[in-house]
């Protein structure tokens, strides 16, 4: 990740800055402005393929797929942009009623997906994953295009998470009944 030299920002300053700047994708990590880095070709390919596989399986009346756009709000000083996020349609429509709204969600999301890239791999696991879990996101996927793996963390009734590593087969997110991702299709060149 590229840290942009800046003063610490308040939540209001961050929201205003993010809405007014169309040159970058900005996250807020512990009050510090961070620009989301450019991604590798493999990252982009897997992100597009995951989009192609998820979209036809999601009922638009219930869920919306946000691609490298939605912000998961952890706290007033921490906002992240997942590579993909499944957001309840009702939450999106509520924000759309106010034209000045940032595409940001404080409530736990059904599915958050991060895809490994050389520039973000460590940051995604070390910084974002614990914060997604602290937010209570129901399911978090970490996809590695070179290792051809998908690691899923699923929230349990006790609030903890169970981690499962997939190397083949079909992955069904517990948070989205009826949705299935075939890893062979996801990782096909």
How do beta strands 84-88 and 111-115 pair?
antiparallel
Tokens at residue 152, please? 């899923």
**Residue range 35-62: mean pLDDT, rounded:** 93
With contact defined as beta carbons under 8 Å apart, do 43 and 35 qualify?
no
Which single residue is written with the structure tokens 């840290």? 3
The domains of the chain, with CATH numbers, are: 39-186 (3.90.1570.10)
With contact defined as beta carbons under 8 Å apart, do 87 and 99 qualify?
no
Buried b (16+ CB within 10 A) or exposed e, 145-178: beeebbbbbbbeeeeebeeeebeeeebebebbee
Whether pLDDT at 3 is above 50: no
Query: How confident is the model over 5-14, as pLDDT tens digits?
Result: 456 899 999 9
pLDDT band at 39 (very low <50, low <70, confident <90, very high): confident
Mean of the per-residue pLDDT values of the chain: 92
Distance CA 109, CA 84 (A): 11
Task: List 73's β-bridge partners, or say none.
Answer: 79
DSSP state of 110: S
């Amino acid at each position: 990740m590229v840290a942009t030299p800046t003063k610490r920002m308040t939540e209001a300053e961050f929201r205003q800055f993010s809405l007014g700047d169309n040159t970058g994708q900005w996250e807020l990590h512990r009050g510090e402005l961070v620009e989301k880095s450019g991604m590798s070709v493999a990252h982009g390919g897997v992100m597009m393929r995951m989009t192609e596989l998820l979209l036809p399986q999601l009922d638009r009346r219930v869920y919306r797929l946000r691609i490298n756009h939605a912000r998961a709000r952890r706290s007033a000083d921490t906002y992240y942009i997942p590579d993909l996020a499944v957001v309840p349609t009702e939450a999106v429509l509520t924000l759309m009623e106010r034209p000045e709204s940032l595409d940001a969600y404080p409530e736990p999301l059904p599915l958050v997906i991060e895809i490994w890239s050389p520039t973000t791999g460590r940051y995604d696991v070390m910084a974002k994953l614990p914060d997604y879990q602290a937010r209570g996101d129901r399911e978090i996927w970490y996809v590695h295009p070179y290792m051809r793996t998908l690691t899923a963390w699923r929230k349990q009734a006790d609030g903890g998470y169970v981690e499962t590593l997939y190397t083949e087969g079909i992955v069904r997110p517990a948070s989205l009944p009826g949705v299935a991702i075939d890893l062979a299709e996801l990782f096909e060149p």
